């Protein structure tokens, strides 16, 4: 069992001053991720581009770290600045005549890239904060080719059964696109075992690796189907030949990394993968669920209604509490150095593994004070 107290003390200095309880917004940066990015900046400060070759190699190490983290192949992973760019690259892979279905609770980063390209997107009405695989199955029509779902829903905390949703998609011959921003770093993801075709996520929430990074995963077979819409000098097989006429675009996902790389973001993200793996992906998920269990019990004990699904299989790191005036409450908490912001129909509380029961107690104390 990980020593949570010691991890908290060493890797999360924020805990000395603040009670940080919304990793579903922007997570804090863990010390190892900070050090990885900081090391890059120190090298750039002192040595400029002397380390260019080393950095390119380190970027491939980060790609392998990320691939291992979600059980993908390195050639199926591209670095992106955020989920939105990843989703745009995924949308590019398909013919815009293909019908898309998504829950009406879906985060806009998942649906806007498809709507913008004029895909017909059908929104399924969520039932009690959930859109289950069965709801998707019933909504399928012959022209439905793409199912989009968040792994964890940002405004309710509903955790989707991705394995079952993938079965629904496969039986119908549709592809499954997963927005994993609210899950990557909190719940183990194995793209092969879960049957995910495409996935996008960022580094700045549950990965604890800061703004500016993210990943897109595209299953190999799909990558080869269509050429990318954009290409740059680093999209080609031999970028260091500087041939300004020959278009020899790579077949790997790295073709989406068009130019000079955002090295520090990717190093931070790669390091975060190894860091979370060293703590234990299952242990992290269990710890988050035990903290949200405690939180839900405390909220209910103090007659504060919980709007997130309560069934264990749908639970995640996100809990929405129905408070009087979420915006005012959040401001009040903020003044007391507690971070939790309004989302959905209440206050969103999203602890990570380094939080503890005392953080929850502190929050409840201030919520009770009104
Ligand atoms: C499900 C989901 N996707 C994406 C994002 C953010 O998108 P991006 O990574 O493009 O900033 C959020 C942020 O709240 C989210 O909840």
pLDDT reported for residue 345: 84
Fold annotation for 4-29+280-369: 3.90.1150
> Ligand 1 center to residue 201 CA distance, Å?
8
Query: Could you tell me the sign of the dihedral formed by the alpha carbons of 191, 154, 35, 37, in that order?
Result: positive
pLDDT reported for residue 369: 75
From 102, 103, 149, 154, give the residue whose CB has the most ligand 1 atoms within 8 Å, as the site to mutate.
Answer: 154
pLDDT in tens, the chain (370 residues): 999 999 999 999 999 999 999 999 999 999 999 999 999 999 999 999 999 999 999 999 999 999 999 999 999 999 999 999 999 999 999 999 999 999 999 999 999 999 999 999 999 999 989 999 999 999 999 999 999 999 999 999 999 999 999 999 999 999 999 999 999 999 999 999 999 999 999 999 999 999 999 999 999 999 988 889 999 999 999 999 999 999 999 999 999 999 999 999 999 999 999 999 999 999 999 999 999 999 999 999 999 999 999 999 999 999 999 999 999 999 999 999 999 999 988 999 999 999 999 999 999 999 987 6
> Ligand 1 center to residue 188 CA distance, Å?
18
> Ligand 1 center to residue 205 CA distance, Å?
9
User: Which residues share a beta bridge with 159?
Assistant: 152
10 Å CB burial of residue 158 (0-12, 13-18, 19+) is buried
Q: In whole angstroms, what is the distance from residue 100 CA to residue 89 CA?
A: 15
Domain spans of the chain? Answer: 4-29+280-369, 37-278
Hey, do 4-29+280-369 and 37-278 end up sharing a CATH topology, with the first three levels equal? no
37-278: CATH number: 3.40.640.10
300 contacts 310 by C-beta, under 8 angstroms: no
Looking at the chain, list the stretches that DSSP marks H as alpha helix, in order from N- to C-terminal side.
Answer: 4-11, 31-47, 52-70, 83-91, 108-116, 133-139, 162-172, 191-194, 220-223, 263-279, 281-301, 326-335, 357-369
pLDDT reported for residue 370: 63
Q: Which residues line ligand 1 at a C-beta cut-off of 6 Å?
A: 82-84, 107, 109, 150, 154, 179, 181-182, 202, 214
Placement of tokens 């405390």 in the chain: 298
Q: Which long-range contacts (CB under 8 A, 24 or more apart) does 35-41 make?
A: 35/271, 36/264, 36/267, 36/268, 36/270, 36/271, 36/272, 37/210, 37/264, 37/265, 37/267, 37/268, 38/264, 39/267, 40/263, 40/264, 40/267, 41/264
Nearest to 137 by CA among 106, 101, 163: 101
pLDDT reported for residue 63: 98
């Amino acid at each position: 069992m990980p020593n949570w107290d010691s991890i908290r003390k060493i890797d999360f200095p924020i805990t000395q001053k603040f009670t940080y309880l919304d990793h579903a917004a922007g997570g804090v940066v863990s010390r190892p991720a900070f050090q990885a990015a900081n090391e890059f900046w120190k090298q750039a400060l002192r040595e400029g581009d002397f380390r260019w070759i080393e950095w390119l190699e380190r970027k491939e190490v980060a790609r392998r770290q990320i691939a291992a983290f979600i059980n993908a192949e390195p050639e199926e992973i591209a670095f992106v600045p955020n989920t939105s760019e990843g989703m745009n690259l995924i949308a590019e892979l398909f013919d815009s005549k293909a019908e898309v279905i998504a829950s009406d609770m879906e985060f806009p980063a998942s649906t806007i890239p498809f709507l913008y390209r004029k895909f017909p997107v059908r929104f399924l009405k969520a039932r009690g904060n959930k859109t289950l695989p069965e709801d998707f199955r019933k909504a399928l029509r012959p022209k439905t080719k793409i199912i989009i779902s968040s792994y964890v829903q940002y405004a309710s905390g509903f955790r989707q059964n991705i394995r079952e949703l993938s079965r629904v998609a496969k039986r119908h011959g549709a592809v499954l696109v997963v927005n994993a921003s609210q899950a990557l770093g909190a719940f183990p993801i194995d793209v092969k075992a879960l049957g995910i075709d495409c996935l996008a996520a960022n580094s700045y929430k549950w990965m604890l690796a800061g703004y500016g990074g993210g990943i897109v995963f595209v299953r190999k077979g799909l990558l080869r189907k269509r050429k990318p819409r954009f290409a740059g000098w680093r999209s080609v097989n031999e970028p260091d030949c500087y041939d300004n006429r020959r278009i020899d675009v790579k077949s790997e996902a790295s073709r989406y990394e068009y130019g000079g790389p955002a090295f520090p973001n990717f190093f931070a993200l790669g390091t975060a993968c190894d860091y979370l793996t060293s703590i234990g992906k299952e242990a992290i998920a269990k710890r988050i669920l035990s903290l949200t269990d405690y939180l839900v019990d405390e909220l209910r004990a103090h007659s504060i209604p919980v709007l997130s699904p309560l069934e264990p299989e749908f639970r995640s790191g996100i809990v929405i509490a129905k408070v009087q005036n979420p915006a005012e409450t959040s401001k009040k908490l903020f003044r007391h150095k507690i971070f939790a912001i309004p989302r959905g129909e209440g206050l969103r509380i999203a602890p990570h593994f380094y939080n503890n029961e005392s953080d929850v107690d502190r929050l409840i104390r201030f919520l009770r004070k009104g």
